[in-house]
Amino acid sequence: MTYADFMNAPKRRDRAATRSALLDAARRRFAEHGYDGTGVREIAADAGVDATLIFRYFGSKRHLFDEAANGEVPEGLGAPGAGPAELADALVREVVLGDAPAGGGEHPLLLMLRSAGRPEVRARLHEEVCDRYLADMADRFAGEDAALRAELVGALLLGMGVMRDVVGSPVLPGADPDRVRALVAAMVAALEAGGRPADPTGP
């Protein structure tokens, strides 16, 4: 069977496959154009089915978005006992360099970032970032202002994702991944060193 034959073949009726195709198309559309910039008809067209099926399978556009942003939040945080450098390195590979094992698309945090105009999306983003990533990162920093230093690491990683996927800067995709990881490690190490010895205004 040729590729054309495969494409022109009458599509099988498969509820699970159609649902999955809608979910994939929604992830791509939402990630690229945001929630408000994406219509249910466009998602359905990408999936090759009628838009009505979105409401039959997901209930509403918002439920589809929630499920699209939900299912792929990776668990893969670094080893529990490791330091911030190891965690940052794992996140660099996962968020920026795209070594995420599951799903070939964008990181769900960046997907939500594109739709942060909606208050409920922003609330989820806030909860996900602060309670999940930043709290875990802060636990690995010593010192009184661990939260601030964790915030800076998180800002660096989030900013790298934004640079690559939203701004579209060609630098990060074209750079040597090991070099990127080394530079990020140097920045995190500077935070681990504390910055306080170099800060003449410290108490």
Partner DNA sequence: GAGATAAGTCATCGATCGATGACTACGCTA
Partner DNA sequence: TAGCGTAGTCATCGATCGATGACTTATCTC
Q: How far is the CB of 49 from DNA (least distance, A)?
A: 4
In one-letter notation, the amino acid at residue 181 is R
How many residues make contact with DNA (CB under 7 A)? Answer: 23
15 binds, among a copy of itself, DNA, none (CB under 5 to 8 A by kind): DNA
Which residues, including other chains, have CB under 8 Å from residue 49's CB and lie 6 or more apart? Answer: 18, 21, 22
Q: How far is CA 151 from CA 9, 89, 192, in A?
A: 52, 15, 13
Cα-atom radius of gyration of the chain, to the nearest Å? 20
Residues binding a copy of itself (CB under 8 A)? 32-34, 36-37, 113-114, 116-118, 122, 125-126, 129-130, 134, 145, 147-152, 154-160, 162-163, 166-169, 171-172, 175, 178-180, 182-187, 189-191, 193, 195-196, 198-199, 201-202
Note the Cα 122 to chain centre separation in Å.
14
Which residue has 């660099």 as its token pair? Answer: 92
Cα separation, 83 vs 88, whole angstroms: 9
Q: Say whether residue 203 binds DNA (CB under 7 A).
A: no
State which of positions 25-84 bind DNA (CB under 7 A): 38-42, 49-53, 55-56, 60-62
Nearest to 28 by CA among 93, 132, 104: 104
Q: Which of 1, 4, 5, 12 contacts DNA by CB under 7 A?
A: 12
DSSP, collapsed to helix, strand or coil, labels residue 102 as: coil
Asked if 83 contacts 192 with a C-beta cutoff of 8 angstroms, the reply is yes
46 binds, among a copy of itself, DNA, none (CB under 5 to 8 A by kind): none
Note the Cα 13 to chain centre separation in Å.
32
Cα separation, 109 vs 72, whole angstroms: 10
Nearer residue to a copy of itself within complex by CB, 12 or 179? 179
Stretch that binds DNA, among 8-16, 97-105, 143-151, 183-191 (CB under 7 A): 8-16
Q: Which of 1, 7, 13, 197 contacts DNA by CB under 7 A?
A: 13
Q: Which of 11, 126, 132, 196 contacts DNA by CB under 7 A?
A: 11
Q: Say whether residue 20 binds DNA (CB under 7 A).
A: no
**Residues making contact with DNA (CB under 7 A):** 10-15, 17-18, 38-42, 49-53, 55-56, 60-62
